[in-house]
């Protein structure tokens, strides 16, 4: 059992630093855009702090909707990788939320992307082979071709379209 908990406002800068160092620029909001979400009622940032230091070991951002949850960002601080934290966090989030969870992954074009997909598959997620691209967060950013993975099982095309519509409307504030 980890000490996963809801992040504190004063931890935002540390979380954003991990985010910046873990994702390509097209895959996250600006500092201001990310901070604006902090108090959104459907959005929660969870962290595992390092009780020995002032560091954040890992964070995961979750959008909770009526019948599913969406993991928008999930990253382990490079200093704490390869210790099983990622699997631990996913299992705790699955137990905490008690609903189907969706997340986006990069296309399996690189060894790193293939390893990430394998990590999620080992933790009970399935690839849904339907066309999907993350809309740009701002006009300056580009859409990102991705795959959607879901916990428990693959979903039907109708279910996929419903999930995608909710994510585009609520998370990316656009229509598909």
Global confidence as pTM:
0.95
Q: What is the pLDDT of residue 96?
A: 95
In a domain, 65, yes or no: yes
Tens digits of pLDDT across the chain (176 residues): 569 999 999 999 999 999 999 999 999 999 999 999 999 999 999 999 998 888 999 999 999 999 999 999 999 999 999 999 999 999 999 999 999 999 999 999 999 999 999 999 999 999 999 999 999 988 888 899 999 999 999 999 999 999 999 999 999 988 65
Which structural domain, as residue segments, surrounds residue 137? 5-170
| H, E, C per residue of 81-124 | CCCCHHHHHHHHHHHHHCCEEEEEEECCCCHHHHHHHHHHHHCC
Q: Does the residue 176 lie in any domain?
A: no
Domain membership of residue 87 (yes or no) is yes
Q: Is residue 129 part of a domain?
A: yes
**Residue 65: predicted pLDDT:** 98
Give pLDDT, residue 2: 67
CA distance 81 to 58: 9
The predicted pLDDT at position 76 comes to 96
Domain count, the chain: 1
CA distances for 112 relative to 26, 55, 77, 136, angstroms = 17, 25, 16, 22
CA 62 to mean position of chain CA atoms: 7
CATH code for the domain in which residue 99 is found: 3.40.630.30
Please check whether residue 24 lies inside any domain of the structure.
yes
């Amino acid at each position: 059992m980890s000490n996963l908990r809801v992040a504190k406002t004063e931890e935002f800068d540390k979380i954003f630093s991990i985010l910046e160092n873990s994702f390509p620029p097209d895959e996250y909001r600006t500092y201001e855009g990310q901070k604006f979400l902090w108090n959104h009622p459907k959005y929660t940032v969870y962290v595992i702090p390092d009780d020995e230091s002032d560091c954040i070991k890992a964070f995961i951002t979750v959008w909770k909707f009526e019948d599913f949850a969406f993991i928008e960002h999930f990253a382990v601080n490079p200093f704490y990788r390869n210790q099983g934290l990622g699997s631990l966090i996913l299992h705790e989030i699955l137990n905490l939320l008690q609903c189907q969870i969706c997340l986006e992954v990069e296309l399996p074009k690189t060894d790193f992307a293939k390893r990430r997909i394998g990590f999620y598959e080992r933790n009970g997620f399935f690839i849904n082979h339907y066309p999907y691209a993350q809309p740009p967060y701002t006009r300056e950013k580009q859409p990102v071709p991705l795959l959607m993975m879901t916990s428990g099982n693959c979903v039907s095309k109708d279910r996929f379209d419903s999930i995608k519509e909710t994510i585009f409307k609520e998370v990316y504030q656009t229509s598909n």
